Amino acid sequence: MRSMIEKQQRKLRAVPAFAALCLSLLCAFASPALAGEAKLGAISIKDAWARATPPWPVATLAFVRLENAGADDRLLSASSDVAGQTLIHRFVATGDRPAMEVQREGVPLAEGVTLDMRAEGYHLMLLNLESRLDAGNTVPVTLTFEKAGAVEVAFDIKSLLPPGLQGGKPAPEKPTN
């Protein structure tokens, strides 16, 4: 009888050790994405942010840094539940006429390349917004790559106004044409 009790006690002592092992493995392999950051295979997604919108939202720009430490890949598309359409754009200055080009084939990400999206280069355009995007919040954007697959990233929403002008004054009425 005594040996049975000792066996049961040994089993009970093993349960917390096993639970601790499982928890440590979960923490080691789970990489919770911070706002503005994610990892998908060899592609690191960093500094993801979108411009805050005025009270009458129509569209906004979003930017992100993509670092490819693996084989060649391609950013094929982006989407967001808050936008009717999300496009990959490229700002191109041809002579005196700047233009936006939709990147229908996506954007290539060669091995070892870092792509910094910015207003005067590649960027994401969120169109037909369903609601206003306020600074301090986040907006989910799904980035889809040709080989790495898809990942949802929380884009920080940032105001472009100086800190002293972000609050205090009422928002202007929607402009009329």
Q: How far apart are CA 94 and CA 76, in angstroms?
A: 25
Q: Are 149 and 38 in contact (CB under 8 A)?
A: no
Q: Are 154 and 48 in contact (CB under 8 A)?
A: yes
State mean pLDDT over 151-163.
Answer: 85
Token duo for residue 140: 């989910």
Paired strand residues for 116: 65
Tens digit of pLDDT for each residue in 125-134?
A: 999 999 999 9
Q: How far is CA 160 from CA 25, 50, 136, 163, in A?
A: 41, 10, 12, 9
Provide the 8-state DSSP code for 36: T
Tens digit of pLDDT for each residue in 99-114?
A: 889 999 999 999 999 9
Amino acid at 1: M
Given a cut of 60, is residue 8 above it in pLDDT? no
Q: Which domains are present in the chain?
A: 38-160 (2.60.40.1890)
Secondary structure (3-state) at 94? strand
Q: Are 106 and 77 in contact (CB under 8 A)?
A: yes
pTM of the model: 0.72
